[in-house]
Structure 1
Amino acid sequence: MKLGPHLHRIGNDIVAAYLVDTDEGVSVIDAGLAGHWRDLLDELGVMGRSLDDVRGVVLTHGDTDHIGFAERLRRDHGVPVFVHAADADRARGGEKPKTPMGPKRVGPMVTFAAYALRKRGWRTEYLTEVTAVADGEVLALPGSPRVIAMPGHSPGSIAVHVPVADAVFVGDALTTRHVLTGRTGVQPAPFTDDPSQALESLARLAGVDASWVLPGHGAPWRGDLTAVPAKVRQAAD
Structure 2
Amino acid sequence: MSTSQIVRISVLPFGLINCHLIIGEQGCVLVDTGLPGSEAKIARVLKKHGRSFKDIKLIVITHAHVDHAGSAARLRELSGAPILAHAGDLDYYEQRKQMTFCETGWFGRLFMRTGLILQPYQAFTPDILLQDGSSVDLSAYGVNGVARHTPGHTAGSVSLQLASGDALVGDLIASGILLGGLLRTEHAIRPPFEDDPQTVAVELQGLVDGGMQRFYMGHGGPLIAAEVRRHAVSLRGLKPGRRYGLRPTCACPDAHGG
* TM-score in same-fold range (> 0.5): yes
1:137 aligns to what?
136
One-letter amino acid of the counterpart of residue 92, structure 1:
E
2:76 counterpart SS class: helix
CA distance in 1, matches of 2:177, 2:127: 29
1:88 Cα offset (Å): 2.4
CA distance in 1, matches of 2:41, 2:82: 20
Compared CA separation, residues 37 and 179, structure 1 to 2 (3 A)? farther
2:142 counterpart SS class: coil
1:199 aligns to what?
201
CA distance in 1, matches of 2:96, 2:153: 16
Compared CA separation, residues 194 and 96, structure 1 to 2 (3 A)? farther
Map 1:12-161 → 2, pairs under 5 A: 12-105=14-107, 109=111, 122=119, 124-134=121-131, 135-139=134-138, 140-161=140-161
Give aligned-pair identity as a percent. Answer: 24
Q: After superposition, what is the alpha-carbon deviation per residue over 1:138-177, rounded to whole angstroms, capped at 9, x for unaligned?
A: 132121441232211111112111225x410011111114
- Unpaired segments ≥5 residues, structure 2: 239-258
One-letter amino acid of the counterpart of residue 123, structure 2:
Y
CA distance in 1, matches of 2:85, 2:129: 5
Q: Alignment length, in residue pairs?
A: 225
Q: After superposition, what is the alpha-carbon deviation per residue over 1:44-96, rounded to whole angstroms, capped at 9, x for unaligned?
A: 11100111111110111122111122111223432100002222222222425
Contact 1:151–1:198, Cα closer than 8 Å, also in 2: yes
Q: Name the TM-score, length of structure 1 as normaliser.
A: 0.80
One-letter amino acid of the counterpart of residue 23, structure 1:
E
1:208 Cα offset (Å): 3.0
Contact 2:180–2:219, Cα closer than 8 Å, also in 1: no
1:9 counterpart SS class: strand
> Does 2:216 correspond to 1:219?
no
Range with bigger deviation, 97-106 or 11-20:
97-106
Compared CA separation, residues 87 and 109, structure 1 to 2 (3 A)? closer
For the aligned residues, what is the CA RMSD? Answer: 3.2
Q: Name the TM-score, length of structure 2 as normaliser.
A: 0.74
Contact 1:103–1:180, Cα closer than 8 Å, also in 2: no
- Unpaired segments ≥5 residues, structure 1: none
2:169 counterpart SS class: strand
2:195 counterpart SS class: coil
Q: After superposition, what is the alpha-carbon deviation per residue over 1:89-109, rounded to whole angstroms, capped at 9, x for unaligned?
A: 222224255334342259x95
1:29 Cα offset (Å): 0.8
